[in-house]
Amino acid sequence: MKAPSVVRIGSRDFAISLAEPPIDPDNRGTLGKIDYSKSSIHLDRVLDAQTKSYALWHEIAHGIDNQYFGLRLLKGEQDAELLGEALAQVMRDLGIVFEFEE
């Protein structure tokens, strides 16, 4: 399935794009980034498709936390990693696997 170019979280549409590395100039292992002020999600272009999919679900988890829970649900990056991984696994098991266009 072709990866979406936009994902709606709550009432906001977030544009999804592949970004040139480094997304994380401080080298903290960041694979993607959600920008609430610009309603965008950026994923590291050099990641393999499976990792991009995980990173997208991770950023969507952050977006859900922000939109619906005021950043109170997820207690940090580890919670977002766990929820993102769980969402990616459920979607993959349902046959929803994203293909990202370069």
CATH code of the domain in which 46 resides: 3.30.2010
Residue 93 has pLDDT above 90, yes or no: yes
Domain-located, residue 63: yes
Q: Residue 12 falls within a domain, yes or no?
A: yes
Residues 62-68, mean pLDDT to the nearest whole number? 91
Q: Percent of the chain at pLDDT above 90?
A: 55
pLDDT at 102 over 70: no
- Name the domain count of the chain: 1
Domain containing residue 47: 6-93
Q: How far is CA 44 from CA 75, 90, 93, in A?
A: 24, 22, 24
Instruction: Give the 3-state secondary structure percentages of the chain, helix then strand then coil, rounded to 5.
Output: 35, 25, 40
Report the pLDDT averaged over residues 20-35. 81
**91 contacts 64 by C-beta, under 8 angstroms:** no
Residue 11 has pLDDT above 80, yes or no: yes
pLDDT over 70, % of the chain: 97
